[in-house]
Structures are given as structure tokens and as C-alpha cells.
């Protein structure tokens, strides 16, 4: 397997997830700041021009964080990244989707890249403010879900791998991270894998 990855971006979560499987994988760094994601070589692998993208052993490339997570969890069941119980599985996917589609895409995206939506600097600040509100709301929801458990779904899962990258971003001083999420991040950072 080969992960197309930009360190510090959301593909951190997939790198972390792959490490949990214990399976060998290569990393090709796609430096977003240098525009590597717009180069023909990478676009030939992923025409969407985004990371993460995972080149699988059969030569096909899989994209979209939740889908890559699901495929990895299904292909390496011994890593126990997704429960076998149908209701727990669907709730794990629901949570994973919330982290990626809401906290990242509707929160952090507006904070990191408001210029993608408007050139107007006042409007950019409005978008940043909106993004901060969405992130703060998302952190409160994650904190409630986690409660006093060790991991978001009780046992470690693909949802924690998504939490790993957004909680890293949420360490910035502009956010107020609930104490139990701080502890979750430390627990995730300290996992042997």
C-alpha cells in the first residue's frame, strides 16, 4: 500500500490508522503548500487533487477519509478497528462522518482556507468566525460522546483515528478543548503503534 500524504493535514489520520494495522505501507509526501496536489503525476492517481489517497495492493486508488477508513478496517480485521456488532458499526461510521464532514469540512476548512470561498477579507473573517463556532460545537459533541470512556466508541476504532487529526488541530490556543478530549488525544498519542 502507498499513502499519498501531506504531513499536518487530515491524511495524518489515515497515516495513524495504517500504523494501527501493523501492515507495511509506503508514504509519498504530497506537499500541499508547494502545489504537489496539482501536478499531473498526482492527478493521475487522484483526479480530485486531495489527500488522503491510498494506493491499494491491487493497484487501485481509494479516496475519501471515511471510505479509506472503512476499507482498512474491513481488510485488516485483526487490528480491531471496527466492531463486528451491526449497531456499533453504524454508530461508529456516523461519528466518523460527523468528524470529517462537519468538524473538519464545515469548521476547520473555513478557518484554514476562507480565501477559497471569497476574496473579500471582511467576509473571510466572517467565515473564520463561523468555522471556529462549528469546531467548538463539534468538540462539545465529541466530549459528550466520549464522556468518561477511554475511546469514542468505548473500544478503539476508526472514529478515534479521525479524532486524532482534528484534536491535533484543536490544540491551537483559539479553541477551548474539553478536558476529556485532551486526555483522549494523549491516549491516542501514546498508543504503541
Ligand X SMILES: N[C@@H](CCC(=O)N[C@@H](CS)C(=O)NCC(=O)O)C(=O)O
Contacting residues toward ligand X, per CB under 6 A: 9-10, 32, 37, 49-52, 64-65, 100
Give the 3-state DSSP-derived string for 119-175, with helices as H, strands as E and coil as C: CCHHHHHHHHHHHHHHHHHHHHHHHHHHCCCCECEEECCHHHHHHHHHHHHCCCCCC
Q: Which is nearer to ligand X, 72 or 100 (CB)?
A: 100
Q: Which is nearer to ligand X, 109 or 180 (CB)?
A: 109
Q: How far is the CB of 92 from ligand X (least distance, A)?
A: 16
Cell of 190: 501514546
Q: How far is the CB of 50 from ligand X (least distance, A)?
A: 3
Long-range contacts of 172-178 (CB under 8 A, 24+ apart): 174/132, 175/132, 175/135, 175/136, 175/139, 176/136, 176/139, 177/139, 178/139, 178/140, 178/142, 178/143
Q: Which is nearer to ligand X, 65 or 70 (CB)?
A: 65
Q: Which is nearer to ligand X, 52 or 138 (CB)?
A: 52
Q: How far is the CB of 121 from ligand X (least distance, A)?
A: 21
Q: How far is the CB of 66 from ligand X (least distance, A)?
A: 6
Yes or no: say if 136 and 176 are a contact pair by the CB < 8 Å rule: yes
Q: Which is nearer to ligand X, 168 or 180 (CB)?
A: 168
Q: How far is the CB of 160 from ligand X (least distance, A)?
A: 16
Q: Which of 103, 174, 91 is nearest to 137 (CA)?
A: 103
Yes or no: say if 96 and 45 are a contact pair by the CB < 8 Å rule: no
Amino acid at each position: 500500500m502507498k499513502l499519498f500524504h501531506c504531513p499536518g493535514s487530515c491524511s495524518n489520520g489515515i497515516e495513524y490508522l495504517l500504523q494501527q494495522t501493523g501492515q507495511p505501507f509506503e508514504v509519498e509526501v504530497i506537499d500541499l503548500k508547494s502545489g504537489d496536489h496539482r501536478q499531473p503525476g498526482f492527478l493521475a492517481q487522484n483526479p480530485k487533487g486531495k489527500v488522503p489517497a491510498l494506493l491499494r495492493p491491487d493497484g487501485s486508488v481509494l479516496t475519501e477519509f471515511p471510505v479509506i477508513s472503512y476499507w482498512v478496517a474491513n481488510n485488516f480485521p485483526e487490528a480491531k478497528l471496527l466492531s463486528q456488532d451491526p449497531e456499533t458499526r453504524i454508530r461508529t461510521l456516523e461519528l466518523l462522518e460527523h468528524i470529517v464532514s462537519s468538524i473538519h469540512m464545515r469548521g476547520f476548512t473555513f478557518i484554514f482556507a476562507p480565501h477559497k470561498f471569497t476574496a473579500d477579507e471582511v467576509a473571510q473573517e466572517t467565515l473564520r468566525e463561523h468555522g471556529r463556532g462549528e469546531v467548538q460545537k463539534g468538540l462539545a459533541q465529541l466530549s459528550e460522546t466520549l464522556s468518561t470512556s477511554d475511546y469514542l466508541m468505548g473500544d478503539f476504532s476508526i472514529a478515534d483515528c479521525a479524532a486524532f487529526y482534528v484534536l491535533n488541530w484543536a490544540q491551537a490556543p483559539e479553541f477551548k478543548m474539553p478536558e476529556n478530549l485532551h486526555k483522549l488525544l494523549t491516549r491516542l498519542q501514546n498508543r504503541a503503534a
